[in-house]
Amino acid sequence: MQNLGQLIQTGDWKGEKHVPVIHIPQDIKVGESFELKVSIGDEIKHPNELEHHIKWIKLYYFKEDGKFPVEIASFDFVSHGEAGVITEPVGSVNVKLNASGFIYALAYCNIHGLWENKAEIKFN
């Protein structure tokens, strides 16, 4: 039996439609709020229909000298064409951080499973 971590897939979001894209502004400052955005399909559109869709995305922060990640946000996408309603796999949250570290994004596709990406947060 595999550990959960062994089941998480990754890749370059420019060539793989399942990989979450983490959008971080260029000039963020310690302790100041900034918009952290995550999306799926920026380069290659992911299907969004009942049969094939992104179900959810979660964001985590791992402080540079931390012991475990802290969940920042969880986005559930629950409409995939019912009555003509579609929720796109995009989420945004304002966040304040007090130290450098990493943002991790974990997404779930109902057909292709778990996908992750990470981005470094570096304060001067």
Which one from 14, 52, 96, 122 is the annotated catalytic residue? 52
Mean pLDDT of 14-33: 91
Residue of 23, 37, 112, 118 marked catalytic: 112
pLDDT for position 5: 75
pLDDT at 2: 77
Confidence (pLDDT) at 90: 97
pTM above 0.85, yes or no: yes
In angstroms, the Cα distances linking 70 to 3, 22, 48, 74, 78 are 20, 16, 29, 12, 24
53 in catalytic set:
no
pLDDT in tens, 55-114: 999 999 999 999 999 999 999 999 998 888 999 999 999 999 999 999 999 999 999 999
What pLDDT is recorded for position 58? 98
Q: Which two tokens stand for residue 97?
A: 């951080």
pLDDT at 12 over 80: no
